[in-house]
Amino acid sequence: MADVAEVMAKPIAQRLLHDEPLLRLSYTALDGGPRVIPLGYLWDGNSFLIWTIPISAKVRALEADPRVAITIDIVGPPPRVLLARGQAELTTVDGVPDGYLEASHRAMPSAVWDNFDRQVGELYEQMVAITITPEWAKLLDFETTAPSAVEKLARARGEAAH
């Protein structure tokens, strides 16, 4: 876990976690196929916090197979990519959690917050809190780190040149 904490504490990872309001969550659907969906989230310094409604397909899929992968990225240049993997833990809660509202607010202008909060408060009686504590993480900043295949190719080329 120390390696994960080290990756997540890097300044570029911290900027991505702070500045990018959406992550992409990958999981295995009930039909066995892969799914990737963008979701609002919060990072509490240890775990990704996500909320959804109890009847969503991802809830049933995550109950069946809690393994997930997460990507938070920007195009660049240079591109920046934070990758994480872990297990989703699901908890049903009454009402609309403040965390859900805070995560949602990150991706919308403040002028619409009150209307959004009112609408979801009227619609959602319960939500499912999804907590993902990374078991593995990697940061690709394309300056000090790159995909392992690229790093391997660069080492091989460097050794061939000598």
pLDDT in tens, 55-78: 999 999 999 999 999 999 999 899
Q: What is the number of structural domains in the chain?
A: 1
CATH of the domain at 155: 2.30.110.10
Tell me the residue range of the domain where 68 lies: 2-161
pLDDT given for residue 10 in this prediction: 96
Contact 52, 59 (CB under 8 A): yes
> What pLDDT score does 56 carry?
97
Predicted local distance difference test score (pLDDT) of residue 1: 54
- Tell me, what's the pLDDT at 149? 82
Cis bond upstream, residue 109 (ω within 30): no
Tell me phi and psi for residue 129, to 5 degrees: -85, 125
pLDDT reported for residue 136: 98
Minimal CA–CA distance to 24: which of 78, 85, 76? 85
Pair type for strands 67-74 and 48-52: unpaired
pLDDT at position 2: 61
Residues of the chain scoring pLDDT < 70:
1-2, 162
pTM as predicted: 0.90
